[in-house]
Amino acid sequence: MSVIYVLLTISLVVAIIFFIAFIISVRQGQYDDSYTPSVRMLFEDELVKPKKK
């Protein structure tokens, strides 16, 4: 039964470490997309279809 407590404690510690790493990476801008907006303007004409009358 004590093994369950040890494994639960270790899993909570690992989960907290990953959560803290995620928060730090989001605050530092790791997931900011700076490439797509510059490419989007090149292919904008292909995305917009002309209206048929």
pLDDT for the residue numbered 19: 98
At residue 45, the pLDDT reads: 64
Tokens of 2: 């004590």
Looking at the chain, how many residues does it have? 53
Q: 41 near 48, Cβ under 8 Å? A: no
Residue type, 48: V
> pLDDT value at position 9?
97
Higher pLDDT, 15 or 1: 15
Helix (H, G, I), strand (E, B) or coil at 38: helix
* Number of other residues whose CB lies within 10 A of the CB of residue 24: 10
Contacts of residue 25, defined as CB under 8 A and 6 or more positions apart, other chains included, come to: 31
Query: pLDDT tens across 2-50, in order?
Result: 999 999 999 999 999 999 999 999 999 888 877 777 777 777 666 556 6
